[in-house]
């Protein structure tokens, strides 16, 4: 899907900031070198930074180009985020609630970081279109799965075909992203605009989360299995923690108590996903249907949960959480010998041996090939996500060591104890 382009943005900084040899988790027993043509000239930091800046601008432009309105399709409703322009083999010309919210969450990050006022206004107009699209789909009548509908047509009408529904992470991620937009509005002096957004849009999604998070019929993000999913629970927990902040800001005392209570219960519920025997966080518990071939219950979407919803305040969703670290190590080990591409561990650039990381797929038993079933394969989204995980982990370890020199020693000892 189009969301893969977003992950590639993350990887740019990761590849520049941390050498592969710096990974505290990467296996090191793959020794077959691969030789590629030497690039002309000697790479230097300035050239790399210039390339990253150029590629980032290009990638942001391509992401924005997938958000309606479109000249080529005047029926697409403004604010609808196109998963992919591909309409055949595979047909992804729809707007997924989950993917759209993740894209908007990233755009809000750009709004917070840019110093270009004109660009910030352009980005804000895209988010405002998305808010309008959200109001539209929230108001649709007769939806079998309500706010949990996985995807819609690009014109904002319901998708009526067979699909894995409901997907209860979608409203949670949307609430999380729009809560961050609400904070942006308040930070720029629009307190009343933030209140309207909270009361008329965000609260609806948070109410859905409160009602539905205990369910075990929800589909996972790969749209294959039903049950209680770590990624979904993490999204719901993060949405409610931001809901607590907004309810407190707007003196919404009744919902403040609900959101606080439910978020605390969700945090405790996440502990159920730890598999003490195999020492990793399971992707699904209370399985209730769908694909049953994922015997290991080891899945990269657990790592994506840490990237999308993690905080620096501790808990299982933190990139530095010992149980998350243990899970990442298990995932790398699972894919290390699974794909032929991972037989190569070192390349050579200008006479220097450079380690190559492990290409990561969705889960070891995967058979989806992108347009059917045969054999799984590495995903650019997840491999880029693993690079981002290590980048964030490296920064967190540096910060922790600066604040408390014993912190990184504690993390290392905890990881060793768990695995």
Which two three-digit tokens encode residue 214?
A: 């205990």
Give me 130's structure tokens: 């998305």
Out of 60, 99, 129, 220, which one is annotated catalytic? 220
Of 199, 223, 260, 414, the catalytic one is 223
Query: Strand 274-275 and strand 280-281: pairing?
Result: antiparallel
Q: Which helix (H) or strand (E) holds 34?
A: strand 32-35
> At a CB cut-off of 8 Å and minimum separation 6, what does 287 contact?
225, 226, 227
- What is the bridge-based pairing of β-strands 95-96 and 284-290? unpaired
Residue 220 bears catalytic tag? yes
d(CA 216, CA 154): 29
List, in sequence order, every beta strand (DSSP E) within 77-174: 95-96, 151-152
Sign of CA dihedral 67, 52, 173, 181: negative
| CB under 8 A, 24+ apart: contacts of 264-269 | 266/213, 266/233, 266/236, 266/237, 266/240, 267/237, 267/315, 269/228, 269/233
Nearest Cα residue to 205 out of 228, 253, 229, 238: 238
Q: Does the annotation mark 223 as catalytic?
A: yes
Structure tokens at 205: 């999604």
What is the rounded distance in angstroms from the CA atom of residue 213 to the CA atom of residue 97? 17
Which tokens go with 343?
Answer: 């037989």
Q: Are 328 and 335 in contact (CB under 8 A)?
A: no
CA separation for the pair 409, 389 (Å, rounded): 19
For the CA atoms of 249, 253, 259, 262, the dihedral, rounded to the nearest 10 degrees, stands at 150
d(CA 40, CA 300): 37
What is the distance between the alpha carbons of residues 358 and 30, in angstroms, rounded to a whole number? 10
Query: Which amino acids are annotated catalytic?
Result: 220, 223
């Amino acid at each position: 899907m189009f969301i893969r382009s977003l992950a590639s943005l993350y990887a740019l900084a990761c590849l520049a900031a941390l050498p592969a040899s710096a990974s505290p988790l990467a296996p090191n027993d793959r020794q077959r070198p691969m030789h590629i043509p030497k690039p002309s000239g000697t790479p230097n930091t300035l050239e790399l930074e210039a390339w990253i800046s150029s590629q980032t601008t290009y990638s942001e432009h391509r992401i924005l180009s997938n958000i309606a309105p479109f000249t080529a399709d005047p029926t697409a409703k403004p604010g609808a985020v196109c998963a992919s322009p591909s309409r055949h083999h595979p047909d992804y010309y729809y707007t997924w609630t989950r993917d759209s919210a993740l894209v908007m969450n990233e755009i809000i990050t750009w709004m917070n970081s840019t110093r270009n006022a004109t660009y910030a206004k352009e980005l804000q107009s895209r988010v405002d279109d998305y808010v309008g699209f959200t109001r539209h789909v929230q108001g649709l009548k007769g939806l079998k799965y309500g706010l949990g509908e996985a995807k819609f047509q690009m014109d904002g009408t319901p998708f009526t075909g067979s699909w894995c529904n409901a997907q209860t992470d979608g409203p949670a991620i949307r609430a999380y992203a729009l809560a961050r937009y609400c904070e942006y509005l308040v930070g720029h002096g629009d307190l009343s605009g933030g209140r309207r957004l909270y009361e008329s849009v965000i609260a609806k999604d948070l109410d859905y989360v409160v009602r539905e998070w205990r369910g075990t019929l929800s589909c996972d993000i790969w749209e294959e299995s039903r049950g209680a999913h770590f990624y979904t629970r993490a999204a719901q927990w993060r949405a409610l923690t931001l809901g607590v902040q907004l309810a407190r800001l707007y003196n919404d005392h009744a919902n403040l108590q609900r959101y606080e209570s439910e978020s605390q219960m969700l945090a405790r519920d996440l502990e159920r996903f730890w598999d003490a025997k195999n020492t990793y966080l399971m992707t699904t518990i209370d399985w209730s249907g769908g694909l049953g071939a994922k015997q290991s219950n080891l899945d990269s979407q657990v790592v994506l949960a840490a990237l999308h919803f993690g905080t620096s305040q501790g808990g299982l969703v933190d990139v530095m959480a010992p149980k998350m670290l243990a899970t990442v190590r298990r995932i790398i080990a699972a894919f290390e010998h699974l794909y032929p591409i991972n037989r190569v561990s070192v390349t050579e650039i200008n006479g220097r041996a450079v380690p190559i990381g492990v290409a990561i797929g969705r889960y070891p038993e995967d058979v989806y090939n992108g347009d059917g079933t045969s054999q799984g394969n590495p995903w650019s989204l997840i491999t880029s996500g693993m690079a981002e995980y290590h980048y964030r982990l490296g920064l967190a370890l540096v910060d922790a060591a600066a604040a408390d020199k014993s912190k990184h020693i504690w993390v290392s000892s905890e990881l060793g104890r768990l695995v």
